[in-house]
Amino acid sequence: MSEKHNIAFTAPHFAASQVGLDILEKGGTAIEAMVAAAASIAVEYPHMNGLGGDGFWLISEPGKAPVGIDASGVAAKGATPEFYAGETAIPSRGGKAALTMAGAVAGWQAALEISKEWQAPLPLRTLLDTAISQANWGIEVTQSLTDASNKTFSDLASDEHFSQFLIKGQALKKGKIVKLTTLSKTLAHLAEKGLSDFYHGELAQQLSHDLEAAGSPIRLEDFHNYEAKIVTPLSVETSKGKIYNLPAPTQGVASLIILALYDRVQHLGTSDADMVHLLIECTKQAFIARNAYVTDPSRTPIDLQSLLSDDVLDDMTKHIKLDTAQPWPHVAKPGDTIWMGCCDSEGRMVSYIQSLYWEFGSGVVSPQTGIVWNNRGTSFSLDPNSNQYLSPGMKPFHTLNPAFVELADGRRMSYGTMGGEGQPQTQAALFARHVYHNQPIDKAISLGRWLLGRTWGDESHNLKAERDLVEYVGESLVARGHDMVTVDPCNELMGHAGAIVRETDGSVSGASDPRSDGKAFMGRKK
């Protein structure tokens, strides 16, 4: 009989999963594995994430309260409403869209400092080596990257620096090889000089020069002033266990509200249609609260943890009816990202998200570094009455939110997904199916899904459901008043979910979404 797995890694691209597992097998920590995979997936999925984007960490050590890292960027000192005079909204592409600092690399650094407290570190070169090679040898274009290339071609192809993501001036085709040699050199430089070089060394100088040349308000001073922050996660107690997510500026509170409300109403349901309907109605309550209160942490008008109090949740529950859908929409939030999870041999677990916001972010590519810059700052408003009003040093709203739960039965689970508005909903779907309805984690992720509101790159606000789900719950949902449209099954629109579960005996299992190019790898520490 073979030994049970005690390490696991899942990512939406199989190459990143393999990199993460390799580090775990070498005896590296969950954090070290995640940094290695984060560098790898920045290469393999360049449309969704990268060094020019943001990151959020949830780190759990057995027997201790989880720790969060907010590695999201703030608006540049020069990103003032006056800078955008004449604009009705912040542009989504180009130099003016590149207005917030990239925090991801600072997050890697902050996380590795925590890892050093656990055990002697592996060399940074060991963590980045595979990503360096992947960028140098070239990546195979996936369907996801092909779709993103076609979608963004008219916006971005004319920029000469974006040509690294084209083949002979044309959109990418699945199966072709794209070499990212400049990015490979940048990763090698970081491996030699250390991650702080991104903010304080030669890389910072190169990036600030290239951003200014592209018309961005970001300057060298903004690099020097940036640091990732250790934060206390939000949490909520349910009948199934204690669930954790990140505070503002993320929508983590929405993910927690959905599951806390479902915990209160799930007993009303007796069918799959009831489960889907109740989760959708819980989502509406969560999004109303999110849109009212989530902004830069300094601006939140209330303590977000208070939204998870029994009194507030009980009041929200009153608005949820088993037989009737609440009218929608409220204002939706877009977004695009990657989520990854892992567990090392000591039971330390990480839930991690890394993002450029939209596909290829702002579209601004630094020619000296090969780094694509995010456009997260487009979440800011130029309306002085908005709680997202642009101000230097502030953080925009983030759809990103990595999730973690300590279950009442002793199991622990790291889980998450990409997909804008879809993130809290997909988290809720896989959680409810696995935890409340006892479906295996791979089935809980692969089964037909739904999405209320807008996801990455989409403008509609109705309820979308995959055809295989519609076939058995669609009629019941429409009868309750849901404005529903059917989409193809196994649709990338529904996100790239994943999960790692650690059992009470120390064994682990994991799953990756068939809607992505990912894979979950399990193994034993050598």
From the list 214, 251, 322, 220, the residue with the least C-alpha distance to 72 is 251
Under 8 Å CB-to-CB from 411, ≥6 apart: which residues? 501, 502, 503, 504
Task: Decide: 457 and 359 in contact? Cβ < 8 Å.
Answer: yes
Rounded CA separation 406/10 (Å): 19
Within 10 angstroms of residue 203's Cβ, the number of other Cβ atoms is: 24
Pairwise CA distance, residues 343 & 39, whole Å: 18
Q: Regarding beta strands 229-231 and 67-71, do their DSSP bridges make them parallel or antiparallel, or are they unpaired?
A: antiparallel
Beta bridge partners of 404: 244, 414
Chain-centre distance for alpha carbon 303 = 23
Backbone angles phi, psi at 59, to 5 degrees: -120, 125
Rounded to whole angstroms, the Cα distance separating 285 from 267 reads 18
Return the CA Rg of the chain.
21
Active-site residues, by number, are: 337
Q: Give the type of residue at 418.
A: M
At which residue do the structure tokens 């509200």 appear? 257
Nearest to 455 by CA among 489, 422, 483, 486: 422
Place of tokens 């109605």: 281
CA distances from 68 to 5, 65, 227, 246 (A): 26, 10, 14, 7
The answer to whether 234 and 256 are in contact (CB under 8 A) is yes
The answer to whether 28 and 516 are in contact (CB under 8 A) is no
Q: What are 192's two structure tokens? A: 């030699």
DSSP string, 193-226: H-TTHHHHSHHHHHHHHHHHHTT-S--HHHHHH-
**Residues in Cβ contact with 174 at an 8 Å cutoff, skipping those fewer than 6 apart:** 141, 142, 143, 145, 146
CA distance readout (Å), 221 to 199, 258, 371, 380: 9, 40, 19, 21
Is the preceding peptide bond at 249 cis, omega within 30 degrees of 0?
A: yes
Do 76 and 70 contact (CB within 8 A), yes or no?
no
Beta bridge partners of 231: 68
